[in-house]
Structure formats: C-alpha cells, structure tokens
Chain A
C-alpha cells in the first residue's frame, strides 16, 4: 500500500510566476516527512504537485517528474483523477461536505469509486473512523451532519474520508493550523499511527510539530522576495533540528532568520 515518492527536477509555475525551482527529493514509504519553511517558500505548492492538485488552479502547471513507486504521475497518459484516488489529501481547514452526514462524508470517496455494497461501505466507514480515532465519538450519530462536529473532530473526519479509499500516500497541508492544542495533539497521535500503513507528507508552520511527528524533515526557503522557492535540505528530523548541514536551515530553526 504505502509507496515511495521521488521528485526529480520539479519546477512549479503559476502562469508566468516561477514559484518553486529544481526540487529533488525522496519520500520513504511508511514514514512521515515534514515540509517546513517560511511563508511563500512553496512548501504547500510542492505538496500539491504530489497529487496533481496544483493544476486545478487556473494557469498553474509544473515541469519535471514525480514518481510514485517508479511511475511518473505527470506521464502522458496518466489521469489526474486516478492519481488523486491513490494520493489522499487533508487540508488546512477541515472541509467535510456540508450537505452530507458523517457516514456519507467518510464513504464519499468509495462511492466515487463505484462501491455500492452497503456492507462494504459500512465496514470501510467503521475501519476508517477507527483509523482516524473518531469512531468512539461519532458511532452513535453517523447520520448527523459532518459540520456539526467540533473543528478537531471535523479534521479527523476528513482524515477518515481520505484513508477510506486506502490511498498509497497521505498528504497533509497544515492539518492542525486551525485547531486548538488538544485537537492538535489528537491529530499528531493519529499521524504516528498512520505511518504504519501509509506514506505521510505533512506541511507545517510549527517546528515543534515537525520535530514531534516526522522522521524526515525538508526545509524549503526562498533566496529573496519574488525569487522562486527551493528545497534547501532534506534529512533525518533529528539531524535537521540538531545539526543541519546548511546555514540557512540553522538560522531558520534557531529563529535567526534573514
């Protein structure tokens, strides 16, 4: 299930704006990789190219290769819809479908994949909600609207929705930035458990979070305002936070940035 991601010489653009330049990186399966860096450095942009979500913005495109277990996601006859069914995503703000119940939210992806059997859907819903540590809290009100939950519960609902389709990779774009500390802790615990089965990539603004949840950390930066962002270094999280190779990384993690 969990797959390796290799990014080769990736350049990302918004129209004529060159957002990120020459990214090369590898994400190991069954591990958590954190993307950190200052605002505007392109870490979310890179994340969104990993499931071809970048291109849904008008004018946005990228060049280079993203290999998922050796298969280029930007290959000629690769359907972006198929890519997104393999690479799940959780967003900054919890975004359950407001017209759907908790249950319908969780199985929405399966239904898109043509699963109709009530039994299969029921099992998947329970398994995903258990996987997202939400089952106990919602099992008696699965038919209630998803937006009736608290922010943290909604975010776990979105994680359940993303893992219900058994993706190869789970991308998380600042999944805790809209949540209170207790909900954040719940999500972080969950990320620890998720890496047993999935390849997880998480963008975070919170360096404590990166050091708590990730095995590997990638630091992105931009040379100056208006310049494209770039990957400065990617290494074991412990090394990045104790003894980074690059001066820019050290400056950033110690707060002496700029």
Chain B
C-alpha cells in the first residue's frame, strides 16, 4: 500500500501544475499544511497511521430487516384491501339484475338489486377532467411565476398562499362551494347553456346551483396546490447549465423557459397533474355537498349527479345490510381500480422522463 504513494504525490505537484501549486501556496498564511508544500519540502510529508476498527454488521442487519418488514406489511395491506373489496362485492354482483358496468340505474332498495356504475363513472371522470383542464394550466403558470418570473420574495409569498389552499379542509371547500361559489356561478352556467346548449355536454340540466360544473371548479381549486407545489419543485431544479445555455443563445425569458425549463420539468409536471387527477377522482365530501342528486342520467355539465365517492358517502346509513354495503363496495372497487390506474400512469410517465 505504501508503494504508490510516491508517484502519486509527485503527480499532484508536477512543476507544470502551477495553478494547483499557486493555489496551495496562496493559502499558506492560513493553512499550516500549505507551508510544507514548497518545492524544497516536497516528498517529505508523512501521514500518521490510524488504526481502523473492522466494520460492524449488526445495525446494518437490523435496518435491512426493518425495511423488508415494513415493505411486506404495506404490500400485504394493499392486497388485503383489494381482497376485502372483491370478496364483499361478489355476492351482490352475482344477484345484480342489470349490467354493472353499463347500467345507469342505482336501485338497491329491495331484494331485486339493479345497480350499475355508468352514470357514476361519467360524473366522476367528467368532473375530474374538467377540474384538470382548468387547474393544470393555472398551476403551471403559477409554478413558473414563482420560480422564474416573480422576484424571489414575491415568489415565496405566492408559493405560501398556494400552499395555504392545500391546508383548507375539504369540508370547508364543500360548504363554501355549495353556499357561496355555486350560486354565484349559476348565471354563468345558465348563459353557457343558452349559448352552447345544442351540444349535449352543455345542455340545460338542474335548476339548482349544484351542477357538475360547479363541483369541477371547486375540485380545480382543491387540486391546484399539489400540482403547483410539485411543478414548482421540478421547475426550480432545472440545471443552471441548461438555463445558461439558453440565455447565451440569446433566448428571451419565455424562450429560455420553453427550451430549458419546460423540457426538464415536463415529466414531473405530468406526474403532478396525474396526482391531482387522482385526488379529484376520490374527493368525497366537497363534491357531495355541492352536487344536487338527480333522477336519470344526463351527459350535461350543468346537470347534477353523483360521483363514486359521493354516492358511497351518501349511502353510509345503508351499510347495515351486507347486500347493500356490497353494492357500494363494488362501486368503491371501480374507483380503487381507476385511481390505481391513474397513479400507475403517473409513475410510468415520471420514470420515462428520467430516462430521456
């Protein structure tokens, strides 16, 4: 081990390497080591020998055991939930009078079970997608404002306010949405229906303010903070190298963002949007408070309806019967699969971005 020390030392202090030498010598005033690094004393530096204890294996084994255990527990819990959902849903599903996936009926009042999720699926997906369409551009804009446009103090304040939105409990969003926001939005919705009513999506629906449209906008506000926060973090981590490369080519601020910041943050923001979508799909209490329930099915944004989550929450008093509970659980299973799929896509996108 002692053999290579000599050439190594010689190599680091090659006479040509003026810069290193000058640098070390320049620090001579503060550093006692620097004093020795003159051409005269070169090669005479000795490093004291230190006895090192052999590595201990105990803590290592303990931690690997701990992590394996927790990992197994989590996987087992998810599996247990899936098994519970499937097992409880199988009975009622087998006695279902209508097609579970395509029927829009939800009739579990007597022994002739007739329940389908088509209407629920439509309302859930429609409200979540509208929320996404509104929230994602706003979140991207706010994230870029915070990271690249606003002076850092203003950016911090705006970021803090957006984080604050995340701290508002969903029951409060529900109350505010149902009592204040939805009635306020009603005239605008009516105007849209009058103007674009020939499209089924914009048909006139319920007379009350509790429309899918109102619920979607409240959902948009609710998922805005998480999308903003994650996008802000990825935009903020854009390597300086990329940003400076763009500046040096004579990019304007927007061009710099377009060619350096957005390509870097693209996969992260898509994953953020998917996380937001996952939250919107599963949001319960706010949607339940805002949405008016309606008989029948409508394609319209300005109709009422039920999402998976709001239906199940409303049905809670009926959970005493295993059959009725099982029907709700079947609906819950579909929501479970849906959010699972959305999260899977989010992860795939995020991982794909890292490779590229």
Using a CB–CB distance below 8 Å, which chain A residues touch chain B? 38-39, 51, 53, 56, 58, 81-86, 88-89, 91, 93, 95-100, 108-109, 112-113, 145, 158, 161-162, 165, 205-208, 252-255, 257-258
Contacts and interface: CB of A to CB of B under 8 A. Distances in A.
Contacts of A38: 19, 22-23, 26
B145 interface: no
21 contacts: A56-B244, A81-B252, A84-B248, A85-B249, A85-B250, A88-B249, A89-B244, A89-B248, A91-B244, A96-B245, A97-B242, A97-B245, A97-B260, A99-B266, A100-B263, A108-B249, A145-B356, A161-B245, A165-B250, A206-B19, A208-B16
Contacts of B246: 97
Contacts of A158: 245
Contacts of B263: 97-100
Contact of A252 (B18, B251, B252): B18
A170 to B, nearest CB: 11
Given A58-B152, A97-B260, A112-B250, A255 B18 contact: yes
Given A56-B244, A91-B241, A112 B18 contact: no
A172 B144 CA distance: 30
A93 B242 CA distance: 10
Contact of A95 (B26, B242, B356): B242
A145 B251 CA distance: 21
Best-buried of B26, B28, B260 by chain A (most CB within 10 Å):
B26
B333 to A, nearest CB: 39
A88 B255 contact: no
A16 B245 CA distance: 27
Interface in B306-356: 356
Contacts of B356: 98-99, 145
Nearest to A164: B249
A85 B15 CA distance: 41
Best-buried of A53, A98, A205 by chain B (most CB within 10 Å):
A98
Contacts of A252: 18, 22
B16 A112 contact: no
B21 interface: yes
Interface residues of B, number: 31
B247 interface: yes
Query: Which 8 residue pairs of A and B lie closest in terms of their CB atoms, listed nearest first?
Result: A85-B250, A257-B22, A99-B263, A95-B241, A89-B248, A84-B250, A255-B18, A109-B249
B19 A95 contact: no
Interface string B265-297: 010000000000000000000000000000000
B25 interface: yes
Nearest to A56: B247
Contact of A258 (B26, B245, B259, B266): B26
A258 B25 CA distance: 6
Contacts of B152: 58
Interface in B89-145: none
B21 A257 contact: yes
Interface string B135-162: 0000000000000000010000000000
B15 to A, nearest CB: 7
Contacts of B242: 95, 97-98
Contacts of A58: 152
B22 A165 contact: no
A180 to B, nearest CB: 16
Contacts of A208: 16
Contact of A255 (B15, B244, B260): B15
B264 A98 contact: yes
A64 to B, nearest CB: 21
A96 B241 CA distance: 9
Nearest to A204: B19
A145 B239 CA distance: 18
A93 B22 contact: no
Contacts of A206: 19
Contact of A97 (B15, B26, B252, B259): B259
